[in-house]
Amino acid sequence: MMMGSIKVLLVDDHTVVRAGFRLLLSSSQKIEVIAEAERGEQALMLYSEFKPDIVVMDLSMPGIGGLECIRRLCQRDSEAKVLVFSIHDEAVYIDRAMSAGAKGYISKNSAAEIMLEAIYDIAQGKPYIEAGLNRNTLLDSELIASQTIVDNLNTREFDIFCLLAKGLTAHDIAAQLCLSYKTIANYNTQIKNKFQVGSVVQLAHIAIALKLI
């Protein structure tokens, strides 16, 4: 767990919703809501000002909206951790949010403890997609294609794929497998190319959908 409290920026255009989630998060001694925003543009400014550990964000907001806000946040700070909480649980929304750079996705209909669990995991660098949503995150055809790629990975590639998907850095993996950083970086590129993805978050998305992590 991170040292100190996990600082959260809460982003939702409904005041009542923010109040409800602030109350929920305040029930944990490990979490502190340090700022609130009602639209993406405001969230970007507050992120720069307060440097939160995690941004908990809705997708449906006026202005630039949640997805574009996630993209801009992650472009500005590659270490940004965004947890999406949305009424939308369809695969297309989850895919777009994770592709934009979100580290997690939960439904607004989920139980209170799910949000807390998601925040704790993401704070530790682990991706999080609510369990009930996993089966819908990839289309059947995409699942089959991804499974075929996994089946064709050699043992070393498979190990590194799973470690990357769990959120470990190339340096962490190099130390764990007693290989050089450069070797792991090469495998990282190789594995992304095989899955035709551009980020580790997308690898995590695939691994979660295939129930590998």
pLDDT in tens, 79-118: 899 999 988 877 778 878 888 889 999 988 887 789 999 9
Domain ranges of the chain: 6-136, 140-209
Q: Highest-confidence range of 2-11, 34-43, 145-154, by mean pLDDT?
A: 34-43
State the pLDDT confidence band at 140, using cuts at 50, 70 and 90.
low
Residue whose pair of structure tokens reads 């992650």 in the numeric block: 74
Q: Following DSSP, what letter does each residue of the chain receive, concatenated?
A: --SSPEEEEEE-S-HHHHHHHHHHHHT-TTEEEEEEESSHHHHHHHHHHH--SEEEE-S--STTHHHHHHHHHHHH-TT--EEEEES--SHHHHHHHHHHT-SEEEETTS-HHHHHHHHHHHHTT--EE-GGGGGGSS-HHHHHHHHHHHHTS-HHHHHHHHHHHTT--HHHHHHHHT--HHHHHHHHHHHHHHHT-SSHHHHHHHHHHTT--
pLDDT in tens, 23-59: 989 888 899 999 999 999 999 999 999 999 999 999 8
Strand 54-57, strand 31-37: pairing: unpaired
Judge: domain 6-136, CATH 3.40.50.2300. Answer: yes
Using the predicted structure, report yes or no on whether residue 212 has a pLDDT greater than 90: no
Using the predicted structure, report yes or no on whether residue 136 has a pLDDT greater than 60: no
For the chain, what is the mean pLDDT?
87
pLDDT score of 210: 81
pLDDT score of 1: 40
Cβ-based neighbours of 151, under 8 Å, separated by 6 or more? none
140-209 maps to which CATH number?
1.10.10.10
70: nearest Cα among 38, 105, 37, 101: 101
Tell me if the pTM is above 0.85. no
